[in-house]
Amino acid sequence: MYPFFRLARESFRNRKADPLPLLGTHEAEHICWPWDIDPWMELNNGRTLTLYDMGRVGLFLRVGAVAVMQENRWAGTVAGSSVRYRRRVRAFDRYQLRSRMIGWDKRFFYAEQSMWRKGDCTSHGLLRMAITDRNGLVETAKVAEAFGHDGDSPGLPEWVRAWIAAEDKRPWPPMQHEITAIAA
């Protein structure tokens, strides 16, 4: 079940937090609760993605994006993600969640998120996001300007550009006959 109470808490906590520029970093403290763990007694990988949602909510509130999106009747969507898991987070561990926008190209925004426990990074995510309206994707330059950013996107790091290039080579939709042949 989606953690609606956590979502409400994050929204409440960040509604009057200091504003951030579009490229600022949002940091929030969290606890891994027993309902976040899997049978191996550590933070479930699916729950990690949901908790990253909470980080983006805080970030979007603090950069003023939520109000702008409501005003323009825009919606946000995740169009791709890649997560590395490196350290365990167990029940009742406290951790810090960091979220920041890296930059954008013509169609998508790219954000990185990470979880930190006792100075160690436990997981790191790269997300491709889009802002949409009833006609489809809204051009990122228009969105960035509406969010108060003056100027172009900073250059995307090489590792982000490599991920974008790899994603561009991935077939969509997946070819069912190739998937079936590999499974056989």
Using CA atoms, how far apart are residues 139 and 153, in angstroms rounded to an integer?
13
Pairing of strands 109-117, 120-133: antiparallel
Q: Are 113 and 81 in contact (CB under 8 A)?
A: no
DSSP string for 9-21: HHHHHHTTSPP--
Using CA atoms, how far apart are residues 2 and 149, in angstroms rounded to an integer?
32
Residue 181 has pLDDT above 80, yes or no: no
Q: What is the pLDDT of residue 175?
A: 79
**Hey, what amino acid is at 5?**
F
Using CA atoms, how far apart are residues 144 and 109, in angstroms rounded to an integer?
9
Least confident of 11-15, 86-90, 133-137: 11-15
Q: Give pLDDT tens digits for 104-138.
A: 999 999 999 999 999 999 999 999 999 999 999 99
Using CA atoms, how far apart are residues 65 and 77, in angstroms rounded to an integer?
13
